[in-house]
A and B are shown apart, each in its own frame.
Chain A
Amino acid sequence: MRRAERHGIVRPRTLSTRIFRIGLFVILGLFVIYYLMPLIVMISTSLKSLEEIRTGSLISLPDAVTFEPWQKAWASACVGVRCVGLSPYMWNSVAMVVPAVILSTFLGSINGYALTKWRFPGANAVFVLMLFGAFIPFQVVLLPMARTLGVLGLAGTVTGLVLVHTVYGLAFTTLFFRNFFISVPNGIVQAARIDGAGFFGIYFRILLPMAPPAFVVTIIWQFTQIWNDFLFGVAFTASFSNPVTVALNNLVASSTGVKEYNVDMAAAIIAGLPTLLVYIIAGNYFLRGLSAGALKG
């Protein structure tokens, strides 16, 4: 008691600060466990045999690691009645995400440039009208979109999904590039115009070399959003053209025979791996997209 008192008098800040810091790390650590738990459960379950899942518990680590569930999830698990694993659907997602990201990012950058550096009358109204598209709940366009895709002959195709994601991605990409280009001094553009540079000359030779960070943020954001999309995928594709999120949902929901939880978990990790890797590699860019595009439909 006396010692504690003396200690407290001699170095009051150090002791209370130390207790405070320990408490801080304990709480932060508990939250780390809370956020990581589903991921850990997924990984550890995907490496267990069905027998071990039945006898073991949620958080126990696998005794004998097996990669069989991963193989099965990739190549032979049943999605509906089709037992070919997730791999064809992964390719559907790739075929959807690559053109949709390129198109929406490129168009958005041109729009952002034209709307800020060549402010024609009505440019602001055009921007505000386009921006609105980022906030609507997509339920309000599902029915007419389904009919339009039918009329265009794109119903149930990956091409149709590319169109959908490009169109509804434009609002965000335009917003982001507009906000980026608006901070570029107009003087540079004016000087180039006096030197006789045209619209595309200025874009390709002056603005584009300045914009790699904006491109990285937009590409990462669009990639994550489009890869993770479920609503458009489930509404507009048929079984052969399903993106991987829809296929995963069908795989987990289809319950013929014994439920293979380890295969479900492996399939979920496979479907989430591309966006997870992008996030781990380029998390800071993702965060910047998040603060700009959190309200996206």
Chain B
Amino acid sequence: MHALTGSVSLRQRFERWLPRIVVTPSFAASLFFVYGFIAWTFYISFTKSGVLPNYDFAGLVQYERLWDTPRWYVALKNLVIFSTLFIVGCTVIGLFLAILLDQRIRVEGAIRTIYLYPMALSFIVTGTAWKWILNPGLGIEHTVRGWGFESFTFDWLVDRNLAIYTIVIAGIWQSSGYVMALFLAGLRSVDDELLKAAAVDGAGPWRTYTSIVLPLMRPIFFSAFVVLAHLSIKSFDLVVALTGGGPGYATDMPATFMYAFAFQRSELGVAAASAIMMLATVLAVVVPYLYSELREERR
């Protein structure tokens, strides 16, 4: 290449710019549709926008309104309940199943496929079944009563205070298989020599796992946490399919709150403010993770 620089033809000059030209449309799209749109939403959250956008700067009005809305607190409280139980539940079940599957099971492939299929289906699809299973008049309650336990009740789905836990149950069902796959990949990467050395030293399976294998899984705990936290902040399909946010707005989460204020109640300012709060939460979780990932790559 260097030998040729003396006679740079037009074609070569074009060739040299070609990679940049080719990336430009995607990069421009990302600048406009990601950064431009975030800037727009950010600005709108500082205006008096109602049904229509209004571009006069109005300070923190919308944020004050947002934090004065009881429904927002319900959404936040639900997010805390959901994300805590969802993250802990998925991690515990996922890790447990990964350890079991790591014991040289012959039908491992088939079992893994079954544990993971919920991730391949839209929750709008599987939610139809869950809604039915959890429906007091038709599902588990109806079935158990049919077996002769007349006083059995399982009506969380329609109980204002308990409905959020049905979303947790379905959420764990959907995502725990994925966490299992993450941990299984991690367990497979543990050096066999290390395990042999532990066995030679007389460590039983319990000790081997708690003092050697699990500490090695630290990066996977970290990624699982980031992925699950990210999933729970964005939970939308899950709520819409299972409870529609109800009874009333008892199972609202930030994603459904934002949607309701943007498209049903046409309060653009409040909707924008809630979207910015969601973005800030996601960034708080994802940026440290991305930073450490990219730094690792550079090494």
Contact = CB atoms under 8 A, between A and B. Distances in A.
A193 B113 CA distance: 44
B128 A107 contact: no
Interface stretch (B55-63, B83-91, B159-167, B273-281): B273-281
Interface in A12-27: 24-25, 27
Nearest to A147: B53
Contacts of B111: 28, 32
Given A136-B279, A268-B129, A294-B178, A141 B34 contact: yes
B171 interface: no
Interface string A172-204: 001000000000000000000110001110000
B282 A287 contact: no
Interface string B259-298: 1001100001001101110110010001000100010000
Given A35-B177, A141-B41, A58 B124 contact: no
A20 to B, nearest CB: 8
| Chain A interface bracket (under 10, 10 to 19, 20 to 34, 35 or more) | 35 or more
A65 interface: no
Contact of A271 (B120, B124, B233, B263): B124
B125 to A, nearest CB: 4
Interface string B11-52: 000010011101101110111011111101100100000000
Given A57-B143, A130-B30, A133-B30, A264 B282 contact: no
Contact of B237 (A27, A32, A37, A231): A231
B54 to A, nearest CB: 13
Interface stretch (A1-9, A110-118, A208-216): A110-118
B71 interface: no
Nearest to B101: A28
Interface in A263-283: 264-265, 267-269, 271-272, 275-276, 278-280, 283
Q: Which of A136, A200, A272, A297 has the most CB of B within 10 A?
A: A136
Contacts of B168: none
B214 interface: no
Contacts of A31: 97, 115
Contact of B15 (A129, A144, A199): A199
A143 B125 contact: no
A167 interface: yes
Interface residues of B, number: 89
Contacts of A265: 128-129, 132
Given A144-B37, A287-B181, A107 B244 contact: no
A68 to B, nearest CB: 18
Interface stretch (A76-84, A154-162, A248-256): A248-256
A199 B22 contact: yes
Contacts of A141: 33-34, 37-38, 41
A130 B129 contact: no
B124 A136 contact: no
Is the contact region of chain A dominated by helix, strand, or loop, or is it mixed?
helix
A57 B113 contact: no
B129 A261 contact: no
Interface of B: 1, 15, 18-20, 22-23, 25-27, 29-31, 33-38, 40-41, 44, 53, 97, 100-101, 103, 105, 111, 113-126, 128-133, 138-140, 142-143, 146, 173, 177-178, 181-182, 185, 226-227, 230, 233-234, 236-237, 240-241, 244, 254-255, 258-259, 262-263, 268, 271-272, 274-276, 278-279, 282, 286, 290, 294
Nearest 4 pairs of A and B residues by beta carbon:
A228-B122, A118-B19, A272-B125, A279-B120
Interface of A: 24-25, 27-28, 31-32, 34-39, 41-42, 45, 53, 57-59, 107-108, 110-111, 114-115, 118, 120, 123, 126, 128-133, 135-145, 147-148, 167-168, 170-171, 174, 193-194, 198-200, 224, 227-231, 234-235, 245-246, 248-249, 252-253, 261, 264-265, 267-269, 271-272, 275-276, 278-280, 283, 286-287, 290-291, 294-295, 297
Given A294-B227, A295-B230, 9 more contacts: A108-B26, A110-B23, A115-B23, A129-B30, A141-B38, A234-B259, A272-B125, A275-B122, A276-B120
